[in-house]
Amino acid sequence: MSSMPPSAVVGPGDTDAVTQALGTLGTPVDCTGLRSVPLEGPHVLWLVTGGALDLFAVDAAQEGHWHFLGRLEAGALLLGPVEGPQHTLLGRPSQDCRLRRIPLRELARPEWETGQYATVGQYGEQSPYGYGYAGHGEPAPSALEHAFALGTARSLGVLFEAPLDGRPGDEAVADDDVLWMPVPPGSVQYGASYSAEAAGDLLVDPGLWQQMVNQQYRLLSAVDRWIEQLERAHEDRTAAGIKAGEAVRERADQALLASIGRPDRSGRGSDGPGRAGDDATFAVCRTVAEAAGITLTEPPKGGAVNDRITPVERIAVSSRIRTRAVRLQGRWWRTNTGPLVGRRAKSGAPVALLWRRGRYEAVNPASGMRMRIGKDNAEELEPRAVMFYRPLPERPMSMWRLMRFSLRGTRMDVRNLALSGLVTVALGALVPLATGRVLGVYVPSAQKSLIVQVALAVIVTSIVSAAFMLLQNLTVLRMEGRIESALQPAVWDRLLRLPAKFFTERSTGELASAAMGISSIRRVLSGVGPVAVQSLTIGAMNLVMLLCFSVPLALAAIGMLIVIGAVFLAMGLWELRWQRRLVKLGNKLNNQAFQTLRGLPKLRVAAAESFAYAAWAREFARTRELQQKAGRIKNLTTVLNAVYLPLCSLIMFMLLAGPARGSMSAGSFLTFNTSVTMLLTSVTQITGAFVTAAAALPMFEQVKPVLDEKPEVRGASAQPGALSGAIEAKKLSFRYTDDGPLVLDDVSLRVRPGEFVAVVGPSGCGKSTLLRLLIGFDKPTAGSVLYDGQDLSALDQAAVRRQCGVVLQNAQPLTGSILDCICGAEAFTQEEAWAAAEMAGLAEDIKRMPMGLHTMISGGSAISGGQRQRLMIAQALVRRPRMLFFDEATSALDNETQRIVSDSTRQLSASRLVIAHRLSTVMDADRVIVMADGRIVEQGPPAELLADTGGALHDLVRRQLT
């Protein structure tokens, strides 16, 4: 075999020789609009007669990534790919590509077997396609043989020189390199023209054609190896990038957690009990809490159950209050954000940061020392602090109690608001007096200097009044911000403390309105209170002035005000009725939209999207109708506001021209009329404030159930301490409604520490209800639940659940990364998260994910049902609890994964109560409890119960197998 010259590989100038000889064979392929051309072979030749064809290597089984090999120009002849290698050849034609498909049988014609050879002079003394010379006497090949050799050389050249990784490989041969290769005997002919004789033999000898096929097979096998190396290198680079990204994210997480005062997940906490004594921390926290109006409870001595939380958080948990980390940056000491718990940068000693006289002070309760914070000493404190949120009182909250709660700490703002209001009112009284004096006295007597003096006084008064009004508006904005920042978190805290039954009785729309009701009310009532108070004060002052000038006319003005007030009151109550309906319908519409979006996959499966949209559109149309009705009332109110003021002035003029003729001078009347106008304007503002307040009343009615409901955990609830895992239910009975049937009837059971108890029974027998009673989600109608002999109803149920691992039926993970879903709000290390994933049989799945523990999921939509269950199990196991409650938590797992979970939970030595139907789960239990119709009908070791052919468990297993 001879080597290939470069001229034979590329040779665009020889294109006509190939196309002239082979361009009439086969059938043309229409490449218009084609993204790819699947190349058949090896019984087919592909001739590029025009344009270009990009050649790619793709996986033959499943078309994945396209690896670019090269471009076949016009005149290239390609043998179709052979079967066997992993990758095959695929072409992507250019816009002007022209391609012909030539079956092999068209070359096996008699006229091609003995072709006419061209003379030597046809191509010159030296062949343009080889190294042979005419002087050697070799016969010149035919045009077909020459075209065949040249065309295939071009395609093979592309394959041999393919830069699979975007650049020539290490094994690429340069033009001046020596290439060593094995040579079979009889395969080299000295002085032979390039591939001419071989090409002629290929046309008539199937054996030589098979050798060419074999050579292409070896070539594609080499392509397989190159692509495998390329993909392995890409995977290595990707893995290295992911590892580097995880390291960067880990450092970012540590920096973020350190900046907000939380222990990081690498195990190096930023705060710990050893940095300062617990007594000093509690003294500082008590000082801060007293400044915020909060009563703290000292945590129990002897250590806490959860040592991962900081001393400040431990005190907050013991006192049942919530905290928020605050970053101290910029000129933070000049902005009042409330009392804070800070720390010294060097010693870590806790200090109380209290606002006093325009800036913060660092207070040490033990020594009583105070240090005013400024630019020179702000760096002595750590750049983070902790804020306490003041909770609502445990008793039901009325409107008055809620107002008192929200106004606490705003005494200075209320004083400034009252002072600015009084000054504005006093200055406002100058306008009617000056108007009457100027028009009644100074203008008739032409006292220009006095007119100018009064005008200047009115101008100065207006400027001063505007300044006080600006102060009033700033005070109102500050009060609104403080009230919302105190009241909205308190409502959320109350909502999270309510029993589970409260949430089952209300829709999603009602809960959303209740949760965000305070912000909605604040937006509606923004600035209404000060405007109403100021208008009422100005109106009262002008009413006094009317009585001083003329009692009969003042009584007439009061009568008009009563009529106008009654009309506006009636219209406000009318609008309130529609607003109530609108709020209820809005909650229903929001709930329907939420349920529709949540169940959208099911709607698509059933092709019921149009029905869901029609149901939503029907309710939305009703909402628009109610909005139009309420809008008409507002429009009517606006029209009355614009009409009644000149109408009342006209009535006053008619009274003065009629019955009250001559009762007052012109100056007095002008003063009187100006006072009437200001009084009517005040009434307009008061009625507007009333209508606005009426629109907020339905919103408050949505929040009121949250304020009236008693929290699940109250101040009298005792701390459970560290539980051993002993659980007991004594004569439990339960019904969902007072007049409903008994779901559980006199159920008693006991779980010893470390025991594995399985609860089985037919659907609807009360298994899940029993679990809800055991974890305190529902209260029994009769009986009690005991943990280590302590009645659950008298304990802090949230503290009990913190020591339990619970996986409920159809539980859904939170939105976030897998690490966040496993760790929750607590600071676990990544090693602990991986350990929990291993125990749940999820670690291998996470390793196959592109981002590992940092893979984002949204409500479990990106993972399968089995992965979702294992993720919830990992979340329950990461705390290594002493008690585990599983409600059909392994129903979607295979036997091997279930075995991993069972072995992992057994190693925890935790008490386990599992609701299950699978026989494999039941057989691993220490004891099986069989329920039917809300009662325990059978219990004991599973082997003994299965041996009883007439028993309930045996019957359940038999029905499951059949």
> Is 154's pLDDT higher than 80?
no
- Listed residues 389, 418, 435: the one ending a domain: 389
pLDDT of residue 167: 42
Hunting for tokens 């999207």 — which residue is that?
A: 609
Task: Report the mean per-residue pLDDT for the chain.
Answer: 78
Rg (CA), the chain: 44
> Is 134's pLDDT higher than 60?
no
pLDDT of residue 885: 93
Give the whole-angstrom CA distance, residue 704 versus residue 524. Answer: 17
For the chain, the distance separating the N- and C-terminal CA atoms, rounded to the nearest angstrom, is 72
Report which secondary-structure segment, H or E, holds 756: strand 756-760
| 865 and 836 in a common domain | yes
Report which secondary-structure segment, H or E, holds 746: strand 744-751
pLDDT of residue 205: 52
| 288 and 226 in a common domain | no
pLDDT of residue 129: 36
List, for residues 88-97, the tens digit of each pLDDT value. 888 888 888 8
The Cβ of residue 337 has, within 10 Å, a number of other Cβ atoms equal to 15
| 405 and 382 in a common domain | no
pLDDT of residue 284: 92
Q: Is residue 177 part of a domain?
A: no
| 475 and 332 in a common domain | no
Give the whole-angstrom CA distance, residue 329 versus residue 343. Answer: 14
Residue range 592-613: mean pLDDT, rounded: 83
| 144 and 77 in a common domain | yes
Nearest to 476 by CA among 428, 518, 528, 524: 528
Please report which confidence band the pLDDT of residue 249 belongs to, taking 50, 70 and 90 as the band edges: low
| 735 and 684 in a common domain | no
> Is 771's pLDDT higher than 60?
yes
> Rounded to the nearest 5°, which phi and psi values hold at 371?
-130, 115
> Is 14's pLDDT higher than 90?
no
For 689, the token pair is 């404030």
List, for residues 553-585, the tens digit of each pLDDT value. 888 888 888 888 788 888 888 888 888 888 888
Bridge partners for 93 per DSSP: 53
Question: In terms of residue numbers, what domain contains 932?
Answer: 727-961
> Rounded to the nearest 5°, which phi and psi values hold at 622?
-65, -40
Q: Is residue 181 part of a domain?
A: no
Q: Is residue 335 part of a domain?
A: yes
> Is 787's pLDDT higher than 90?
yes
pLDDT of residue 144: 67
Please report which confidence band the pLDDT of residue 18 belongs to, taking 50, 70 and 90 as the band edges: confident
pLDDT of residue 163: 53
For 382, the token pair is 């750590």
| 194 and 332 in a common domain | no
| 403 and 366 in a common domain | no
Bridge partners for 470 per DSSP: none
Bridge partners for 401 per DSSP: none
| 937 and 913 in a common domain | yes
List, for residues 802-826, the tens digit of each pLDDT value. 889 998 888 888 888 888 888 887 7
> Is 365's pLDDT higher than 80?
yes
List, for residues 903-919, the tens digit of each pLDDT value. 888 888 889 999 987 77
pLDDT of residue 251: 62
Please report which confidence band the pLDDT of residue 142 belongs to, taking 50, 70 and 90 as the band edges: low
> Is 177's pLDDT higher than 70?
no
Report which secondary-structure segment, H or E, holds 930: strand 927-932
Residue range 217-232: mean pLDDT, rounded: 76
* pTM recorded for the entire structure: 0.61
More confident residue, 327 or 400: 327
Name the E strands within 27-76. Answer: 27-29, 37-38, 44-50, 52-59, 67-73
* Helix, coil or strand: residue 927: strand
Q: What contacts 361, CB < 8 A, 6 or more positions away? A: 353, 354, 355, 370, 371, 372, 373
Give the whole-angstrom CA distance, residue 347 versus residue 277. Answer: 12
pLDDT of residue 211: 63
Report which secondary-structure segment, H or E, holds 694: helix 666-708
pLDDT of residue 931: 92
pLDDT of residue 160: 65
- DSSP H helical segments within 397-507, as ranges? 399-407, 411-428, 430-437, 448-497, 500-504
Give the whole-angstrom CA distance, residue 943 versus residue 303. Answer: 43
Task: Describe the crossing of helices 551-598 and 609-657 by its angle, rounded to 10 degrees.
Answer: 170
List, for residues 179-221, the tens digit of each pLDDT value. 444 444 544 444 443 344 444 444 545 555 666 677 677 777 7
| 913 and 803 in a common domain | yes
Please answer whether residues 876 and 806 qualify as being in contact, where contact means their C-beta atoms are separated by less than 8 angstroms: yes
Specify the amino acid at residue 850.
P
Question: Where is average pLDDT lowest: 350-354, 396-400, 690-694, 827-831?
Answer: 690-694
> Is 173's pLDDT higher than 60?
no
Please report which confidence band the pLDDT of residue 113 belongs to, taking 50, 70 and 90 as the band edges: very low
List, for residues 425-453, the tens digit of each pLDDT value. 777 667 777 777 777 777 777 788 888 88
Please answer whether residues 304 and 315 qualify as being in contact, where contact means their C-beta atoms are separated by less than 8 angstroms: no
List, for residues 665-677, the tens digit of each pLDDT value. 776 777 777 788 8
Q: Is residue 333 part of a domain?
A: yes
Total residues found in the chain within this entry:
962
Q: Is residue 721 part of a domain?
A: no
Report which secondary-structure segment, H or E, holds 87: strand 87-93
Hunting for tokens 């002072």 — which residue is that?
A: 419
CATH number for 554: 1.20.1560.10
> Is 535's pLDDT higher than 90?
no
pLDDT of residue 758: 92
Question: Where is average pLDDT lowest: 81-95, 146-160, 336-350?
Answer: 146-160
Q: What is the signed CA dihedral for 526, 529, 530, 532, rounded to 10 degrees?
A: 120
Number of independent structural domains in the chain: 4
Q: Is residue 537 part of a domain?
A: yes
pLDDT of residue 569: 81
> Is 172's pLDDT higher than 80?
no
pLDDT of residue 755: 92
Q: Is residue 826 part of a domain?
A: yes
> Rounded to the nearest 5°, which phi and psi values hold at 453?
-65, -45
CATH number for 288: 3.90.70.10
- Listed residues 681, 708, 735: the one ending a domain: 708
| 130 and 222 in a common domain | yes
| 759 and 680 in a common domain | no
Specify the amino acid at residue 914.
V
Hunting for tokens 């009969």 — which residue is that?
A: 552
Task: Describe the crossing of helices 399-407 and 448-497 by its angle, rounded to 10 degrees.
Answer: 110
pLDDT of residue 277: 56
Report which secondary-structure segment, H or E, holds 90: strand 87-93
Per-residue buried b or exposed e for 852-865, using 16+ beta carbons within 10 Å of the residue's own CB: bbbbebeebeebee
- Listed residues 356, 389, 422: the one ending a domain: 389
More confident residue, 278 or 49: 49
Q: Is residue 838 part of a domain?
A: yes
More confident residue, 322 or 150: 322
pLDDT of residue 118: 40
Give the whole-angstrom CA distance, residue 102 versus residue 667. Answer: 114
CATH number for 911: 3.40.50.300
> Is 641's pLDDT higher than 90?
no
pLDDT of residue 756: 92
Kindly state the DSSP code that residue 755 receives in the 8-state scheme.
-
Kindly state the DSSP code that residue 764 receives in the 8-state scheme.
T
Give the whole-angstrom CA distance, residue 573 versus residue 417. Answer: 30
